Homo-oligomer: A and B are copies of this chain.
Amino acid sequence: MDNLMRAQVLVNALPYIKDYNGQIVVVKYGGNAMVSPELKDAVMKDIVLLSLVGVRLVLVHGGGPEINQQLKKIGKESKFVGGLRYTDAETAEVVQMVLAGKVNKDLVALLARHGGKALGLCGMDGRMIEVEKKRSEVDLGFVGSITKVNTQVILDALDNGYIPVISTVAADEKGQVYNINADTAAAKIAAELKAKNLILMTDIRGLLRDKEDESTLIPQVQVSEVPNLIRQGIISGGMIPKIECCVESIRRGVKKSLILDGRIPHSLLIEMFTDEGVGTMFL
**What residues of chain B lie closer than 8 Å to A10, measured between beta carbons?**
9-10, 13, 49, 269, 273
Number of interface residues of A (CB under 8 A): 73
| Given A93-B102, A97-B98, A99-B101, A175:B52 Cβ within 8 A | no
Interface residues in chain A, defined as those with a beta carbon under 8 Å from any beta carbon in chain B? 1, 3-15, 17-18, 21, 42, 45-46, 48-49, 52-54, 70, 73-74, 93, 96-102, 104-106, 108-110, 112-115, 117-122, 124-127, 153, 156, 160, 162, 169, 171, 173, 175, 177, 264-266, 269-270, 273-274, 276
**What residues of chain B lie closer than 8 Å to A8, measured between beta carbons?**
265-266
CA distance A108 to B169 in the complex (A): 13
The 7 closest A-B pairs by CB, nearest first: A101-B101, A7-B266, A97-B101, A7-B269, A18-B115, A109-B171, A9-B9
**How many monomers of this protein are in the complex?**
6
**What residues of chain B lie closer than 8 Å to A45, measured between beta carbons?**
11, 14
**What residues of chain B lie closer than 8 Å to A153, measured between beta carbons?**
119, 162
Nearest opposing residue in chain B for A108, CB measure: B124
Nearest opposing residue in chain B for A174, CB measure: B113
- Inter-subunit contact A14/B108 (CB<8 Å): no
CA distance A14 to B209 in the complex (A): 37
**What residues of chain B lie closer than 8 Å to A114, measured between beta carbons?**
14
Nearest opposing residue in chain B for A272, CB measure: B7
**What residues of chain B lie closer than 8 Å to A117, measured between beta carbons?**
126-127
**What residues of chain B lie closer than 8 Å to A118, measured between beta carbons?**
124-126
Nearest opposing residue in chain B for A21, CB measure: B52
- Inter-subunit contact A115/B160 (CB<8 Å): no
